[in-house]
A and B are shown apart, each in its own frame.
Chain A
């Protein structure tokens, strides 16, 4: 019996195991099966028979996870045989019926438990599903809450619209930008807020977003507020697609950049505009020049012309002084408005550079003509009297004009050219204008450089003296000397006396140059006097207007004479007509003192006009020296011409007053003959020879018979 039971346990285990997975470890599984076999055997043997154990066995199969139909089939197969054997073995009646009853109970127990088990599992999974749904909904709600919070609190305007542009959602920030309530926006078309000039483009942009692979849109655009005002915004638009990848919604982010806009504008306005007149300032002009002169795809074409007018109001300092700075400021404002009006509607920029200087940048396109008319109109505008401080003030301006060709000139150079032209215009007087000239510019630049270095050259001994001999026109005898400065420039070669003087006049070097010349002359005179005594001729020093006006001139000359220990009348100063004719106090004082000291004075650079004649009476002059250009002119014209006749008459007149007449720049015997014939006494020039070093003249002097003064 026990043997049969253990055989049944083994057979059942073998049949059952492959039909399902049980979590039970094998010994426990075996023990379970064994327990149930014994329980069923006991139930079968009981009197009356009990099927309870069999029911429990059916249920236990489910509990051990043998839920598959195969498990029941295998179980009933094995148990059918086994239980029948057990029933037959106890010798009681109807063994088959009892065995079947037990089997039926296993089936019933199995089925009943399977039903409960299935319901339990379904209930479990339903709960799990519910729980999952609740969790998903909770997360969705939380996300939505976050999103809603972002949506409502965002400083950026957010709109959700359908593909037709109808607004489904709009946040408060957007409503604020558009000047209304969020609710008012829902249902309206986003396109209502597009600026009319941009609407078509924007609509296309939105549409393009729907195409596959398009990138989110980012544009700076204007929107029209509900009150009609424009607002600058950054639009960032992306498309939202449904699960089939079909575009369904547009998400539009709207950033208000108007405030930024205004601030940027204000800052740049202040940086680029003149506070008094409101005109663009120099910086603005420069940036405009930079953008206009650079070749740009959207800008002016290469080869186009721009014209820069640089204006300086004539005598504005005097007006400012006379009327007071308040009126001066008012005047500048009027000038600004008039210039603006004159160029209104043209491709021109009016700017105030500094003080009383203005500029007009005119884009002339391909035609740079019309400067004359423009300049005339500017001065016409300015001349119209401004009624200020109880009187009408008419203005004029000096104007420098420079042309620039797009792609060929840089802004600073154009500004410089206009400035140079202005200075040149101012040099010629008031209400003048000058147009930039390349050749003049190169020449001027070279001269400016030389002038700037002259003082240094003087100090470092680059300048030397040469001596110009004068000869008697009658017999050709050596009668006098004048000093000449010469500059052996390392780059520009030898620079002559006249040019040295002219360069010195451009800077402050004129006075030191005069002092240097006077000093050298006195020393040379001293040397010669020591050797030749009274036979020493006076030495001429030609001075310029500004040199004569130098308040220290007398002191300089006195010191030089004392240092060289010479007689003052060995020094002969050539004073230009313009200097002698001046009303300047210093000049008159200087000349007065010098003549009383005994220094000789001759009228230099003389012409043949009434002014010269008047001066003869006023000053104690020793001689008259004609200007070299006059000498050249006389030589070049018809001997019967008015100039020649007038000059001849002048020389004769001077001869009558016992004044010596000196003629420089003589080139031929014929010239000499003419001048001699009219009464001139002495001359110099190429015909007689060029200026020479002092030593050469020392030899000449030694050979010379004693004579009177030249």
Chain B
């Protein structure tokens, strides 16, 4: 009895102490994994995913197109000489992770993943155990100093050299009260000129009804969603020159060939772009 009281006292008094991992609480990272066909998810995640699919029947394509944008953006950055990456909100290490893509193209590439969710972080650690050029930092992306000053970040990345900053499918989890533009600015300030920023973001500009459904579905989860207009997403690139073709639906960003019917830009749900720091 007293033991229990004590623990409650401790955990109640100090809210920075992580509570036990709760798999009855769905996570956006595992939902994304499921939509991409992954098996790194739990019942609660799949239940949420099914509701998500009801609200947005094209969700699997949206997830795939977003993931394909990530791969193309990373390859684009590698082709432009960037060899180090900071992947903010990396989530579950599902197929086609940044380090796989980058190191496949340029084996010397170094990657720092950042996520705050316990299982995602533990999973990433497992995946990266034998990879000396990739690591994971557990931190809250809305506190840039926690990310940028983490010892692993400083050990892995050289901030005097260009860095590929990846914020793919993550800022729609950052609500306006957290000052998302200010957050990006603080990351930007830490980067060397020539660094690149890739952003993809849920938008209400495309399929507004379905987007409203998604917002509703995610409201009850640990990761509610705040979609943004194209203008708002462009604003996140403040201080960066947005490269061609600008902020566009994911399939239209440097497509590798003719678009398949399932790659319909109007149903892509997500806008994406890449910018270069001046």
A476 shortest CB reach to chain B, Å: 113
**A125-B46 Cα distance, complex, nearest whole Å:** 14
Which A residues lie within 8 Å of B120 (CB)? 128
B residues within 8 A CB of A20?
36-37, 64
Whether the pair A124, B123 counts as a contact (CB closer than 8 A) is: yes
Of B18, B97, B100, B262, most A-chain CB atoms within 10 Å? B18
In the complex the two chains form, is B13's CB within 8 Å of A125's CB?
no
The answer on a CB contact under 8 Å between B263 and A18 is yes
Q: Judge whether A131 and B125 touch: CB under 8 Å.
A: yes
0 or 1 for each of A112-150: is its CB under 8 Å from B? (1 = yes): 000001101110110111111101110110011001000
Query: Nearest residue in A to B67 (C-beta to C-beta)?
Result: A21
Interface locus among A86-94, A241-249, A594-602: A241-249
Inter-chain contact A240/B13, CB cutoff 8 Å: yes
B40 pairs with A124, CB closer than 8 A = yes
Verify if B121 is at the interface (C-beta below 8 Å from A): yes
Are B100 and A23 neighbours in the complex by a CB distance under 8 Å?
A: yes
Give the CA-CA distance A117 to B23 in the complex, in Å.
21
Q: Is the CB of B21 within 8 A of A127?
A: no
Which residues of the other chain, B, contact A25 by a CB distance below 8 angstroms? 75, 104
- B window 1-52: CB within 8 A of A: 2, 5-14, 17-21, 23, 36-42
- The chain A residue with its CB closest to the CB of B4 is A168
In angstroms, Cα B21 to Cα A143, docked, is 17
Q: How far is it, in angstroms, between the C-alpha of A168 and the C-alpha of B10 when the chains are bound?
A: 13
**Known A26-B256, A128-B123, A143-B10; contact A121-B18, beta-carbon cutoff 8 A:** no
A26-B257, A128-B123, A136-B21 known; A251 vs B13 contact (CB < 8 Å): yes
Q: Which residues of A contact B10 (CB under 8 A)?
A: 140, 143-144, 147
Given contacts A136-B118, A251-B13, contact A125 B39 (CB under 8 A): yes
A124/B36 in contact, CB under 8 A = no
- Residue A160 is within 8 A (CB to CB) of chain B in the complex: yes
Interface size class of B (residues with CB under 8 A): 35 or more
> A160, B9: Cβ atoms under 8 Å?
yes
Taken together as a complex, chains A and B put the C-alpha atoms of A370 and B40 apart, in Å, by 97
- Asked if B260 CB lies within 8 Å of chain A CBs, one says yes
Q: Are A248 and B122 in contact (CB under 8 A)?
A: no
Contact A121 B38 (CB under 8 A): yes
Partner of B8, one of A118, A127, A136, A242: A242
Q: Which residue of B lies closest to A14 (CB)?
A: B260
How distant is the Cα of A172 from the Cα of B204 in the complex, in angstroms? 60
Q: Is the CB of A129 within 8 A of B23?
A: yes
A68 sits at the interface (CB 8 A): yes
Q: Is the CB of B122 within 8 A of A23?
A: no
B263 / chain A contacts, CB cutoff of 8 Å: 18
Inter-chain contact A160/B5, CB cutoff 8 Å: yes
Is B126 part of the contact surface with A, judged by Cβ < 8 Å? yes
List of B residues within 8 angstroms of A21 by Cβ: 36-37, 63-64, 67-68, 95-96
Say yes or no: is B61 at the interface (Cβ < 8 Å to chain A): yes
User: B interface vs A, CB < 8 Å?
Assistant: 2, 5-14, 17-21, 23, 36-42, 60-61, 63-64, 67-68, 71, 75, 92, 95-97, 100-101, 104, 118-123, 125-126, 256-257, 260-263
Give 15 A-B contacts (CB < 8 Å), ordered by A residue: A18-B64, A20-B37, A21-B95, A22-B95, A23-B97, A23-B100, A128-B125, A128-B126, A131-B123, A136-B18, A137-B20, A140-B10, A143-B10, A169-B2, A242-B12
Q: Closest 10 CB pairs between A and B?
A: A121-B39, A23-B96, A18-B262, A128-B123, A132-B122, A131-B122, A132-B118, A67-B37, A125-B40, A128-B122
**A residues neighboring B (CB under 8 Å):** 14, 17-18, 20-23, 25-26, 65-68, 117-118, 120-122, 124-125, 127-133, 135-137, 139-140, 143-144, 147, 160, 162, 168-169, 186, 240-242, 248-249, 251
